Amino acid sequence: MYTHFCSDFAQMSKKGADLVHLEVEKKPDLLFCAASGGSPSGLYELMHKKHQINPKFFKKMRVLKLDEWVGLPPDSTFTSEFDIKEKLLNKLEISTDRYISFNSQTKNPDEECKRIENEILKSGPIDICILGIGQNGHIALNEPGEKLTLDCHVAELSRTTLSSGMIQSVGIPLKYGMTLGVGTIMSAKMVLLFIAGKGKEKALQTLLKKEITTKLPASMLWMHPNAHLIIDQSSIED
């Protein structure tokens, strides 16, 4: 995994955008796996600016949603679906036929995970996978534990994840999420892991030890041949 220390959020976002734009130039119809949340939001904004300058640039790119909470109402603005549509899909004018997404309203999350895994087998592999990191070192919703799951699956959310400010503000008790597995993420041709925001210091310090353990799922990325760790130093330093 290549490590990039950036002075601030803007520089971190630009580094990510430079890498993404280069890959899209080489393969316009690539499969782009998008994460929700604040860490990749600067990347998405720069992709939007690229689209405004050249509306044809992302015209063939396909998008896959990384994960989704289970149990949110259809009108909730806390779904990954809402976040990704607002920050990426609508801005880049990604049509529904170029979008693969977990159904946040599914009645059978296990079957929905199997459907997404099959969609990736048909449409993949993933060319670029965008990730953030949890305070406990999780990637997507792959939580620390004695073992990790390779394929798409329903994940039980950890106490640390459930205690985050975003989850607590939802107002509805959550317990599970649907997510790509570590194996699916590791099969991506390129992975960009953005680290930004308070509360990530301990996870980053542990990650930088380069010790691979299931207790820190992000550490698996040290085994990836083309993963990039992109750090906003300004947001994690005291």
pTM over 0.85: yes
Reported as a single tens digit per residue, the pLDDT across 182-235 is 999 999 999 999 999 888 999 999 999 999 999 999 999 999 999 999 999 998
Query: Residue 170 has which token pair?
Result: 């939802």
CB neighbourhood size of 61 (10 A): 22
| Residues, the chain | 238
Q: Could you give the domains of the chain?
A: 2-236 (3.40.50.1360)
Torsion over CA: 86, 91, 92, 97 (sign): positive
Helix (H, G, I), strand (E, B) or coil at 31: strand
Q: Find all residues with CB under 8 Å of 3, minimum gap 6, and list them.
A: 208, 228, 229, 231
Helix (H, G, I), strand (E, B) or coil at 92: helix
* Residue 136: Cβ within 10 Å count: 20
pLDDT at 166: 57
39-66 tens-digit pLDDT? 999 999 999 999 999 999 999 999 999 9
Residue 1 confidence (pLDDT) above 90? yes
C-alpha 64/C-alpha 123 separation (Å) is: 10
Percentage of the chain lying above the pLDDT 90 cut: 84
